[in-house]
Structure 1
Amino acid sequence: MLHAHDQSNSTIATVRDVQQAGAICYRRNGSGQLRILLVGSRRNGRWGVPKGNLDPGETTPAAARRESFEEAGVVGDVEATAFGSFSYRKDSSPHHYHVTVHLLHVVEAQLDFPEKGTRKQKWFPLKVAIRDAAQPGLKALLSRLEGVVL
């Protein structure tokens, strides 16, 4: 029989490093200005990029493409080489999340996609996306785009 102090030890979560992939989705508006697509977290609404865990055997570019469609309904050309990475922790989890980020040039936006209605999404000018992104590491990656010709 477990005593009260033994039960508390059995509920301690194991900290894991979780590998994820995400995409900085971008396009140019009619005036040629760069726009970045951010999606809201389902937990807290904070702005970030489409991202998620890799499926077994899935590459990071493929996962970035899949997550972009599932979370935002966007389809496009994904850079095979990672643009960078960032790490974060969720308030609700002890795990460390490491996100490999690819650039995705959006060529089409679908009206129907898996997470429609469960997430907000918005196109931002780059400077506003940098300001509003929730994760410091993501802000740093977005800042790197200021010197990149896309």
Structure 2
Amino acid sequence: MLNENAQTELVETLSGRDVAQAGARCHRRTENGGLEMLFVGSRRNGRRGIPKGHGEDGEASSATALREAFEEAGVAGIVDKTVFGSFSYRKDMSPNRYHVAVHLLQASSIAEKFPEKSIRKTQWFPPKDAVRDAAQPGLRTLLSRAETLNL
């Protein structure tokens, strides 16, 4: 017979749970003044999305977004502390549902070396291409809203 904690863990494993994440919608200006958005490839399947991940204990979502942008893409810059929007998604083999609070991040530099450089592909896209190529439908919707911003 399972104790109460084991039963709760088993139910969460079977039905999944809600997992909070934070992400950065990184943008920069090109030499001719055009806007570009950054995508990183998933480690598992290469699908394109924004840098995102789990917060550390007591970490604000804006700080998580800034940290993830650096870890996954080497991007440093100015992050908006206000949540721009959010989206939800499921990973291929996980029963969990991930909820991502997205912050706008104006990129000011890109490091030559960063923690996930060898396992992630990064690419900058014009806004219309980013909207088209985003892996998650909720992210596509959110990025289409960002197209109209005057950044």
Q: TM-score, normalised by structure 2?
A: 0.90
- Cα displacement (A) at 1:12: 8.1
The answer for the alignment partner of 1:17 in structure 2 is 18
Residues 20-52 of structure 1, C-alpha deviations (whole Å, 9 max, x = no match): 000000001000000000000001000000000
Measured in 1, the distance between the counterparts of 2:145 and 2:90 equals: 22
Measured in 2, the distance between the counterparts of 1:110 and 1:64 equals: 16
1:40 equivalent in alignment to 2:18: no
* Paired letter, 1:80: K
Question: Which entry has the higher C-alpha Rg, 1 or 2?
Answer: 1
Name the SS of the counterpart of 1:128 in structure 2: helix
Measured in 1, the distance between the counterparts of 2:49 and 2:41 equals: 6
Measured in 1, the distance between the counterparts of 2:48 and 2:129 equals: 11
Measured in 2, the distance between the counterparts of 1:82 and 1:12 equals: 28
The answer for the alignment partner of 1:4 in structure 2 is none
Measured in 1, the distance between the counterparts of 2:64 and 2:149 equals: 23
The answer for the alignment partner of 1:123 in structure 2 is 124
Measured in 1, the distance between the counterparts of 2:121 and 2:76 equals: 17
The answer for the alignment partner of 2:145 in structure 1 is 144
* Paired letter, 1:148: L
The answer for the alignment partner of 1:26 in structure 2 is 27
- Cα displacement (A) at 1:92: 1.5
Number of residues of Structure 1 aligned to a counterpart in Structure 2: 141
What RMSD, in angstroms, separates the aligned Cα atoms of the two structures? 1.3
The answer for the alignment partner of 2:53 in structure 1 is 52
| Structure 1 residues 125 and 58: alpha-carbon distance in aligned structure 2, compared to 1, 3 A threshold | same
Name the SS of the counterpart of 2:131 in structure 1: helix
Measured in 1, the distance between the counterparts of 2:65 and 2:12 equals: 32
| Structure 1 residues 11 and 102: alpha-carbon distance in aligned structure 2, compared to 1, 3 A threshold | closer
The residue correspondences of 1:63-82 to structure 2 (distance < 5 A) are 63-82=64-83
For structure 1, the 5+ residue unaligned runs are 1-9
Q: TM-score, normalised by structure 1?
A: 0.91
- Cα displacement (A) at 1:118: 0.1
Name the SS of the counterpart of 1:23 in structure 2: strand
* Paired letter, 2:147: E
For structure 2, the 5+ residue unaligned runs are 1-9
- Cα displacement (A) at 1:13: 1.9
Identity of aligned residues (%): 59
Measured in 2, the distance between the counterparts of 1:19 and 1:11 equals: 19
